[in-house]
């Protein structure tokens, strides 16, 4: 049964935006270091944001069916993987991938709703581009996962920059920034 059909992009955006605002309001101490790259780990921040998302999801009937998972690397009985072309441009290889946060229904691809990749601070272009490729792959409707929405979120001390992916492409017109204060 397809549960996600009642959830709009605005529902997802509101869930994520409110969770980021809660994170910045309640957990800004996680950024309290002399330099942004010295703050606590990305995983710690990701866990707290996931906690706020799950707490909010429990109050919204539209999301009662959903599982929220952190670093969920399973695809049925297999490991989540991305098929990439080899250096020769023709051969394909599978590369294991672990998304940061997912809203989905375990053991089904029918309700793959949201995949999020987080970065703390300003990452290298290589790390950023790796996440962009993953989100493009996860949201491509011709691939096995076919998530409705992918988000790339850079967490900075004074803002969270959110880039939106749908249908296997970056949707720049949907990007937004969350200012916590």
Q: In CATH, what number is assigned to the domain containing residue 163?
A: 3.90.1570
pLDDT of residue 55: 97
Decide if 10 is inside a domain: yes
How many domains, the chain? Answer: 1
92-96/81-85 β-pairing: antiparallel
Between 87 and 166, where is the model more confident? 166
pLDDT of residue 41: 84
Decide if 94 is inside a domain: no
Query: Which of 125, 120, 122 minimizes the C-alpha distance to 43?
Result: 120
- Looking at residues 7-30, what average pLDDT do you find? 95
pLDDT of residue 79: 53
> Other CB atoms closer than 10 Å to residue 91's CB: what's the count?
9
Model confidence at 107, pLDDT cuts 50, 70, 90, reads confident
Decide if 82 is inside a domain: no
Decide if 115 is inside a domain: yes
- Looking at residues 57-65, what average pLDDT do you find? 95
- Looking at residues 87-105, what average pLDDT do you find? 70
pLDDT of residue 95: 63
Decide if 104 is inside a domain: yes
- Looking at residues 117-140, what average pLDDT do you find? 92
Between 84 and 133, where is the model more confident? 133
Q: What is the overall mean pLDDT for the chain? A: 85
Residue 91 pLDDT greater than 50, yes or no: no
Residue 45 lies in domain: 4-72+100-178
């Amino acid at each position: 049964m397809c549960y996600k059909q009642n959830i709009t992009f605005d529902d997802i955006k509101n869930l994520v935006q409110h969770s980021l605002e809660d994170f910045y309001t309640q957990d800004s101490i996680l950024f309290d270091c002399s330099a942004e790259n010295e703050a606590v780990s990305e995983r710690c921040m990701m866990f707290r944001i996931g906690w706020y998302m799950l707490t909010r999801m429990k109050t919204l009937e539209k999301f009662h069916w959903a599982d929220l998972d952190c670093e969920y690397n399973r695809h049925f009985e297999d490991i989540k993987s991305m098929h990439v072309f080899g250096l020769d441009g023709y051969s394909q290889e599978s590369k294991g991938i672990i998304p940061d946060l997912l809203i989905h229904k375990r053991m089904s691809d029918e309700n793959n709703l949201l995949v999020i990749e987080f970065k703390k601070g300003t990452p290298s272009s290589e790390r950023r581009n790796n996440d962009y490729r993953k989100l493009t792959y996860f949201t491509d409707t011709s691939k096995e996962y076919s998530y409705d929405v992918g988000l790339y979120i850079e967490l900075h001390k004074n803002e969270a920059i959110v880039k939106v992916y749908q249908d296997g492409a970056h949707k720049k017109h949907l990007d937004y920034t969350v200012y916590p204060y």
